Structure 1
Amino acid sequence: MKKVTYVLLLLFALTMSLSVKAQDIMKSKDLSTVNVDYLSDDDLAKISAQLKSNNATIDQVEPMALSKGMSQANFNKLKIKLNEYAKKNANPSENVEKVEKGEKKSDSGRKQDAIKNVKVKDSANAIIFGSELFDNPTLNFEPDLKMATPMNYVLGPGDEIQVTVYGVQEYNGTLPVSVEGKISIEYVGQIAVSGMTIEAATQKIKAAIAKVYSTVRSGQSQVSVSLGKIRTIKITVVGGKQPGNYSLSSLATVYNALHLAGGPGKNGSYRNIELIRNNKVYKNIDIYRFLVKGDQSDNVSLKENDVIRIPAYTQRVTVEGEVKRPGVFEMKKGETFADLLGFASGFNEFAYTASVNVVQKTGKEFKVHDINESEFKTYQPQSGDVFRVTRILNRFENRIKIEGAVFRPDYYSFTEGMRVSDLITRAEGLKEDAYSKRARIIRLKTDLTTEIVNVNLEAALSGDLSADIELKREDIVTVYSILDFREEYKVIIDGEVKNPGEYEYYENLTLNDLVVQVGGLTGSASKRVEIARMVKSDEIDDADPKRVELVELEITADNNEQVKNFILKPFDVINIRRMAVYEKPQMVTISGAVSYPGKYVLANKKETVYNVVMRAGGLTSIANLDGMKIKRPIKEEQIETLERIDLNLDKSDTLKGKLAKKLKEDLKFATIPVNWEKIVKNKNHFSNVTLFPGDEIEVAVYNEGVKVTGNVLLTSEIPYRSGKGFKYYLNAVGGVDNKGWKRKSYIIYPNGKADVTTSFLFFRSYPKVEPDSQIVVPEKPERKKMTAGEWVGIGSVISSLALLILTAFK
Structure 2
Amino acid sequence: MKKIITVVVLFVALFQTSTLMAQDLLKSTDLSTLKVDYLSDSDVAKIKTQLQTNNVTIEQAEPMALAKGMPASEFAKLKERLAMPATKNEVVKKEIDKTDEVEDDVRKADAFGRKQEKIVNTKVKDSLNALVFGSELFDNPTLNFEPNLKLATPVNYVLGPGDELQISVYGVQEFNASVPVTIEGKVTIQYVGQIPVSGMTIEAATQKIRGAIARVYSTVASGQSQVGISLSRIRTIRVTIIGSKQPGNYSISSLATVYNALFLGGGPGKNGSYRNIELLRDNKVYRNIDIYHFLVNGDQSDNVGLKDNDVIRIPAYTQRVTVEGQVKRPGIFEMKKGETFTDLLSFASGFNEFAYTASVNVLQKTSKEFKVKDVNASEYNSYKPLSGDVFRVAKILNRFENRIKIEGAVFRPDTYSFYEGMRISDLIAKADGLKEDAYSNRARIIRLKSDLTTEIVNVNLTKAMEGDLEADVALKKEDVVTVYSILDFVEEYKITIDGEIKKPGIYDYHENLTLNDLLVQAGGLTGSASKRVEVARMIKAEEIDDANSSKVELFNIEITATNNEQLKNFALKPFDVVNIRKMAVYEKPEMVTIKGAVNYTGKYVLANKKERVYDIVERAGGLTSLANIEGVKIKRPIQAKQIEEVESINLNLGKKDSIQNKLKKKLKEDLKFATIPVDWKSIVKNPNSNTNVILFPGDEIEVAAFNEGVKVTGNVLLTSEIPYEKGKGFGYYIGSVGGVDNKGWRKKAYIIYPNGKAAVAHTYFFIKSYPKVKPGSQIIVPEKPEVKKMSTGEWVSIGSVITSIALLIVTAFK
State the TM bucket, normalised to the shorter chain: 0.7 to 0.9
Q: Give the deviation of 1:430 after TM superposition.
A: 0.7
Determine whether 1:400 maps to 2:404.
yes
Listed one character per residue, the Cα deviations across residues 151-201 of structure 1 (whole Å, up to 9, x for unaligned) are 333333333333333333333333333333333333333333333333333
Listed one character per residue, the Cα deviations across residues 672-696 of structure 1 (whole Å, up to 9, x for unaligned) are 2333333333323333332222223
In structure 1, the partner of 2:569 is: 565
Q: Quick one: which amino acid aligns to residue 625 of structure 2?
A: S
- d(CA) in 2 for partners of 1:704 and 1:279? 114
In structure 1, the partner of 2:460 is: 456
In structure 1, the partner of 2:651 is: 647
Moved more, 352-361 or 124-133: 124-133
- d(CA) in 1 for partners of 2:190 and 2:371? 79
Task: Select 1:284's aligned residue among 244, 263, 288.
Answer: 288
Partner-residue secondary structure (3-state), 1:112: coil
TM-score, structure 2 as length reference = 0.82
Listed one character per residue, the Cα deviations across residues 640-664 of structure 1 (whole Å, up to 9, x for unaligned) are 3322322223333344333333322
In structure 2, the partner of 1:75 is: none
- d(CA) in 2 for partners of 1:759 and 1:310? 105
Please tell me whether the aligned partners of residues 104 and 111 of structure 1 are also in contact (alpha carbons under 8 angstroms).
no
- d(CA) in 2 for partners of 1:340 and 1:531? 83
Q: Quick one: which amino acid aligns to residue 362 of structure 2?
A: V
- d(CA) in 2 for partners of 1:584 and 1:298? 96
In structure 2, the partner of 1:656 is: 660
- d(CA) in 1 for partners of 2:737 and 2:306? 90
Please tell me whether the aligned partners of residues 275 and 309 of structure 1 are also in contact (alpha carbons under 8 angstroms).
yes
In structure 2, the partner of 1:309 is: 313
- d(CA) in 1 for partners of 2:664 and 2:178? 87
**Matched ranges for 1:166-177 at <5 A:** 166-177=170-181
Q: Quick one: which amino acid aligns to residue 166 of structure 1?
A: Y
**Matched ranges for 1:536-685 at <5 A:** 536-685=540-689
Task: Select 1:485's aligned residue among 462, 483, 489.
Answer: 489
Q: Give the deviation of 1:353 after TM superposition.
A: 1.3
Structure 1, unaligned stretches of length 5 or more? Answer: 1-54, 62-91
Listed one character per residue, the Cα deviations across residues 349-402 of structure 1 (whole Å, up to 9, x for unaligned) are 111111111222222322221111112222222222222222111111111111
In structure 1, the partner of 2:256 is: 252
Please tell me whether the aligned partners of residues 108 and 145 of structure 1 are also in contact (alpha carbons under 8 angstroms).
yes
Determine whether 1:687 maps to 2:691.
yes
Q: Give the deviation of 1:540 after TM superposition.
A: 0.9
- d(CA) in 1 for partners of 2:758 and 2:638? 20
Partner-residue secondary structure (3-state), 1:423: helix
In structure 1, the partner of 2:100 is: 98
Distance 1:100 1:223, change over 3 A: closer
In structure 1, the partner of 2:188 is: 184
- d(CA) in 2 for partners of 1:796 and 1:383? 90
- d(CA) in 1 for partners of 2:238 and 2:774? 97
Distance 1:464 1:280, change over 3 A: same
Distance 1:542 1:374, change over 3 A: same
Task: Select 2:133's aligned residue among 129, 135, 143.
Answer: 129
Moved more, 156-165 or 469-478: 156-165
Determine whether 1:327 maps to 2:354.
no
Listed one character per residue, the Cα deviations across residues 733-788 of structure 1 (whole Å, up to 9, x for unaligned) are 34333333444333333333333445678654444433333333333444445455
Aligned residues: 725
- d(CA) in 2 for partners of 1:782 and 1:305? 89
- d(CA) in 2 for partners of 1:261 and 1:787? 75
Determine whether 1:533 maps to 2:537.
yes
- d(CA) in 2 for partners of 1:755 and 1:652? 32
Distance 1:513 1:261, change over 3 A: farther
Q: Give the deviation of 1:795 after TM superposition.
A: 4.8
- d(CA) in 2 for partners of 1:804 and 1:383? 99
Please tell me whether the aligned partners of residues 559 and 565 of structure 2 are also in contact (alpha carbons under 8 angstroms).
no
In structure 2, the partner of 1:466 is: 470
Q: Give the deviation of 1:554 after TM superposition.
A: 1.5
Partner-residue secondary structure (3-state), 1:113: coil
- d(CA) in 2 for partners of 1:607 and 1:651? 45
Partner-residue secondary structure (3-state), 2:99: helix
In structure 1, the partner of 2:740 is: 736
Please tell me whether the aligned partners of residues 103 and 113 of structure 1 are also in contact (alpha carbons under 8 angstroms).
no
In structure 1, the partner of 2:79 is: none
Listed one character per residue, the Cα deviations across residues 507-553 of structure 1 (whole Å, up to 9, x for unaligned) are 12222222222222222222221111111111111111111111121
In structure 1, the partner of 2:442 is: 438
In structure 2, the partner of 1:4 is: none
- d(CA) in 1 for partners of 2:517 and 2:216? 112
Please tell me whether the aligned partners of residues 558 and 566 of structure 2 are also in contact (alpha carbons under 8 angstroms).
no
Task: Select 1:752's aligned residue among 743, 751, 756.
Answer: 756
Moved more, 221-230 or 449-458: 221-230
Distance 1:233 1:460, change over 3 A: same
Partner-residue secondary structure (3-state), 2:233: coil
Distance 1:98 1:533, change over 3 A: same
- d(CA) in 2 for partners of 1:254 and 1:105? 29
Moved more, 94-103 or 136-145: 94-103
In structure 1, the partner of 2:382 is: 378
Q: Give the deviation of 1:697 after TM superposition.
A: 2.6
Tell me how large the CA RMSD over aligned residues is. 3.1
In structure 2, the partner of 1:83 is: none
- d(CA) in 2 for partners of 1:608 and 1:782? 45
- d(CA) in 1 for partners of 2:145 and 2:456? 68
Distance 1:612 1:232, change over 3 A: farther
Structure 2, unaligned stretches of length 5 or more? Answer: 1-47, 55-93
Listed one character per residue, the Cα deviations across residues 208-251 of structure 1 (whole Å, up to 9, x for unaligned) are 33333333333333333233333333433333333334343333
Q: Percent identity?
A: 74
